Amino acid sequence: MTDAATVGHTRDAAAVVRVAVPSPLRRLFDYLPPADRPIASLVPGMRVRVPFGRVRVVGLVVEVGADAAVESARLRRIDAVLDPRPLLDERDLALLRWAAAYFRHPPGEVFLGCLPGPLREGRPAERPAPVRWGASGAGMVDASAALARAPRQAALLARLRAAGAGGLTAAALADEPGDWRRALAALEARGLAERVSDAVDGIAPCPPGLPDPPSPAPAVQPGPAQGEAIESVWAARDRFGAFLLEGVTGSGKTEVYLALIERIVAAGRQALVLIPEIGLTPQIVRRFRDRLGDAVVVLHSALPEQERLMSWLAARAGEAAVVVGTRSAVFVPLARPGLVVVDEEHDLSFKQQDGFRYSARDLAVVRARQHGVPVVLGSATPSFESLHNVASGRYARLVLPNRAAGALPPELEIVDLRGLALDAGVSDRVIDRVRACVAAGEQALLFVNRRGFAPVLLCHACGTPVDCPHCDAHMVWHRQADHLACHHCGTGRAVPRTCEQCGGGELRAVGLGTERIVDLLERRLPEVRVARVDRDSMRRRGALEAALDAVRDATVDVLVGTQMLAKGHHFPNVTLVGVLDADAGLFSADFRAPERMAQLLVQVAGRAGRGARPGTVLVQTHHPDHPLLRALLHGGYSHFAHAALAEREAAALPPYRAHALLRAEAPTPELAHAFLERARGLAAEHLPRVDLVGPLAAPMERRAGRYRAQLLLEAAARAHLHDGLAAWTQVLEGLPEARKARWSLDVDPQEMI
Ligand code: ADP
Ligand code: ZN
């Protein structure tokens, strides 16, 4: 970018401000300072408003005082500086710079994308007094009769009453079980609750940060392995160190995080905790709040923008001692960082799969190194990348070998489906075990990794499936909603009566979906109370929590669900888990499928028998002798992982090789391929130590009406890949073929689709 300035005729080396602006180009843009300000008053990390093309945009200053790359007559001036002080400090900027360079993503999208929406739009980085709610005059008198049938509202009202005239903010109410906003709206409608204005009767609002639960949950006494893990990390608190905390579900990993965080916070520093998906695991936030109080702020994309901004600013100001968030929280500025935790580090949700395709887990490690603090990656089923990093000495391994509080590990049992009569894909053995489990007053969990009734509708006469008109995919039959849906592009349509191909045939459902299992249970075990947990049934806010409550309150006997159920939930009375379609993960073109399958199996199994009773996991398969299943069943995850890693090494696959995937999609396959062919031709010059595979059609070539193809880049070492990547992508941006195809680069891709 500075080439022009170094060509010799230093005709005018105007000092410029280098700004990240929202643009798909992989570069920063140079500006002159505003007419009324010296350049020295600008600092990297401040937002500015700048002219860009024909519009005005909000940008972020990344560098100040560099020599202009073009003549100053061609440079435009910054219109306005939006922040009196930088929003991001040098360390925050360093992380973003690193991320933009490593993942080869346009810096404008990286630098601005990390900011909460209101800041991206140029609104001031100030915290307006948050809205508070309190009990109204009527709510202050006893309303228990009116709320006798609304226990949630009654509980909320009691809490508002206890808070007094100052009321409570949304942040303080975030640990309320269930959908507190609905309960609150109902209370407001009844005239029992109201918004409290800040200046009522001169009573100051409660200062933020006051713990509102009167007594935090008592800490448990760590067991020996937990104690060792805690001390190892604590001993490294003043320097960078990466720790892989490996322990089966229920072995007490969360207790290790909590104990460490308590110490870090007591030492006056902040902890950043990344978790996979907050919507799926409301329990974990509640647990952090119970233990650490209001010092915990939450950051995730489903939060209302204003609340997200408040959390972000509180973290940056150092007022929030603990930030619990999903992947984008890896970029939140912290005033006094002391510890980074990534829970369920193997989880795919840490890798963003579109746009800026970063890995929050890997960035968490980079960030900890920049801050000189420890990072703990925890999992019952560590990613192969992390296991490899342990093997090569980059990460230290900490192990929690047993379940805490003496709970026994679940027993795995294969159900060999070969030759068995099946009802909707389920064997009688599984049905009998569910019946017995429920009769014993215990609960069961049945796991199918597909929502809907059946993944395919086939014509019984001619065999033609009903396919999506825009994708190379079958449409899924959702019987309850009575329609067909494409799970790839969202297209929906009515269920045809007869085959549209041959005109005559009757359509038959093929394959398993959650709805079909519920239907089966209703037919075969009518006495059993069943609930379904998948993205369809959990769409309504608070629905997941209601379902989890129903399990805890034992008003449900059997849960049927997708991988949503595999995540972090604690069901003490569940003693039976059925994995109904284990074969789906055994035969896949994706070399990562076995790893994902094993992780899922072990995670689902981890839901069983966490209480006093041991659990059983039934695994239905047509391939009981599959080496992966054998390794997993007989030696556990770690045995399996060693075997599978050896295979990866022999096959020269990641983590033993570095991968990047150049993807292209276009209205025709030819346009997508033409771009990739051109890119391949240019790679010889820029990427001499990289092997190229393709261009090939993507595994699902047509999706949402566009044709997709990809070029795989492989190298023996990361450095070989990264050496020429910057120059190469810069050239790709200028290609005429690039204007006819949408393309993206995925560094360390996790999915090949
Ligand atoms: P993980 O995060 O590995 O799934 P948790 O930290 O959630 O495990 O612990 C599982 C259960 O065991 C929790 O109910 C937790 O309170 C309890 N537990 C963890 N450590 C201890 C301990 N040292 N003593 C008693 N109970 C513990
Ligand atoms: Zn589709």
Residue 189's pLDDT band, with cuts at 50, 70 and 90, is: confident
Q: What is the CATH T-level fold of the domain 224-405, as seen in this structure? A: Rossmann fold (3.40.50)
pLDDT, position 173:
81
Identify the nearest ligand to the CA of 249 by its number.
1
CATH architecture classification, 2-120 = 3-Layer(aba) Sandwich (3.40)
Strands 574-579 and 691-703, by their bridges, are unpaired
Residue 90's pLDDT band, with cuts at 50, 70 and 90, is: very high
- Residue whose CA lies nearest to ligand 1 atom number 6: 252
Residue 630's pLDDT band, with cuts at 50, 70 and 90, is: confident
Q: Which atom of ligand 1 is nearest to the CA of 222?
A: 23
Please give the distance, rounded to the nearest whole angstrom, from the Cα atom of residue 220 to the centre of ligand 1.
8
pLDDT of residue 730 exceeding 60 = yes
Tell me the two tokens of residue 349. 């949700």
Domain boundaries, the chain: 2-120, 132-195, 224-405, 407-454+511-648, 658-747
Decide if 160 contacts 193 (C-beta within 8 A): yes
pLDDT, position 205:
33
Identify the nearest ligand to the CA of 492 by its number.
2
| Among the listed residues 26, 28, 80, 89, the one whose alpha carbon sits nearest the alpha carbon of residue 51 | 80
State how far Cα 199 lies from the chain centre: 40
pLDDT in tens, 494-523: 999 888 888 877 899 988 999 999 999 999
CATH of 407-454+511-648, one of 3.40.50.740, 3.40.50.2000, 3.40.50.300, 2.60.40.10: 3.40.50.300
Decide if 617 contacts 414 (C-beta within 8 A): no
Residue 8's pLDDT band, with cuts at 50, 70 and 90, is: very low
User: Looking at per-residue confidence, does 203 or 94 come out higher?
Assistant: 94
Identify the nearest ligand to the CA of 405 by its number.
1
Of the ranges 230-234, 668-672, 747-751, which one carries the lowest mean pLDDT score? 747-751
Decide if 716 contacts 689 (C-beta within 8 A): yes
DSSP state of 189: H
pLDDT, position 610:
59
pLDDT, position 13:
65
- Residue whose CA lies nearest to ligand 1 atom number 21: 404
Please give the distance, rounded to the nearest whole angstrom, from the Cα atom of residue 288 to the centre of ligand 1.
13
Range from 179-183, 286-290, 732-736 that averages highest in pLDDT: 732-736
Alpha-carbon torsion, ordered 743, 746, 747, 752, to 10 deg: -130
| Among the listed residues 361, 350, 413, 451, the one whose alpha carbon sits nearest the alpha carbon of residue 621 | 413
pLDDT, position 218:
61
pLDDT, position 20:
97
pLDDT in tens, 568-602: 677 888 899 999 988 877 777 788 988 988 888 88
pLDDT, position 702:
95
Decide if 318 contacts 336 (C-beta within 8 A): yes
Residue 229's pLDDT band, with cuts at 50, 70 and 90, is: very high
**C-alpha span between 742 and 111 (Å, rounded):** 22
- Residue whose CA lies nearest to ligand 1 atom number 25: 405
The answer to whether the Cα torsion of 163, 168, 173, 176 is positive or negative is positive
Task: Kindly list the protein residues that place their beta carbon closer than 5 angstroms to ligand 2, a single-atom ion.
Answer: 468, 470-471, 486, 488-489, 491
Average pLDDT for 682-694: 93
Please give the distance, rounded to the nearest whole angstrom, from the Cα atom of residue 270 to the centre of ligand 2.
45
State how far Cα 320 lies from the chain centre: 22
Partners of residue 744 on adjacent β-strands? 663
Contacts by 420-429 with C-beta closer than 8 Å and gap 24+? 423/520, 423/524, 424/512, 424/516, 424/517, 424/519, 424/520, 425/511, 425/512, 425/516, 425/580, 425/581, 425/620, 426/517, 426/520, 426/578, 426/580, 426/620, 427/620, 429/618
pLDDT, position 589:
75
Please give the distance, rounded to the nearest whole angstrom, from the Cα atom of residue 60 to the centre of ligand 1.
44
Residue 634's pLDDT band, with cuts at 50, 70 and 90, is: confident
pLDDT of residue 708 exceeding 50 = yes
pLDDT in tens, 339-361: 999 999 999 999 999 899 999 99
CATH architecture classification, 658-747 = 2-Layer Sandwich (3.30)
pLDDT of residue 407 exceeding 70 = no
pLDDT in tens, 735-745: 999 899 999 99
Q: Are domains 224-405 and 407-454+511-648 of this chain identical in fold?
A: yes
Q: Which atom of ligand 1 is nearest to the CA of 223?
A: 23
pLDDT of residue 213 exceeding 60 = no
pLDDT, position 6:
41
Pocket test for ligand 1, best of 221, 255, 342 (most atoms within 8 A of CB): 255
Pocket test for ligand 1, best of 245, 246, 254, 607 (most atoms within 8 A of CB): 254
Pocket lining for ligand 1, CB < 6 angstroms: 220-223, 226, 247, 249-255, 404-405
Please give the distance, rounded to the nearest whole angstrom, from the Cα atom of residue 539 to the centre of ligand 2.
20
End-to-end CA distance of the chain: 34
576 burial level (CB within 10 Å; 0-12, 13-18, 19+): buried
pLDDT in tens, 242-271: 999 999 888 899 999 999 999 999 999 999
pTM: 0.84
Contacts by 468-475 with C-beta closer than 8 Å and gap 24+? 470/702, 470/703, 470/704, 470/705, 471/700, 471/702, 471/703, 471/704, 471/705, 472/700, 472/701, 472/702, 472/703, 473/700, 473/703
Please give the distance, rounded to the nearest whole angstrom, from the Cα atom of residue 730 to the centre of ligand 1.
50
**C-alpha span between 714 and 148 (Å, rounded):** 65
Strands 691-703 and 706-715, by their bridges, are antiparallel
Alpha helices of 293-441 — where are they, by DSSP H?
305-317, 360-371, 384-391, 428-439
Residue 145 carries which side chain, given as an amino acid letter? A
State how far Cα 7 lies from the chain centre: 46
Decide if 219 contacts 188 (C-beta within 8 A): no
pLDDT, position 217:
57
Identify the nearest ligand to the CA of 493 by its number.
2
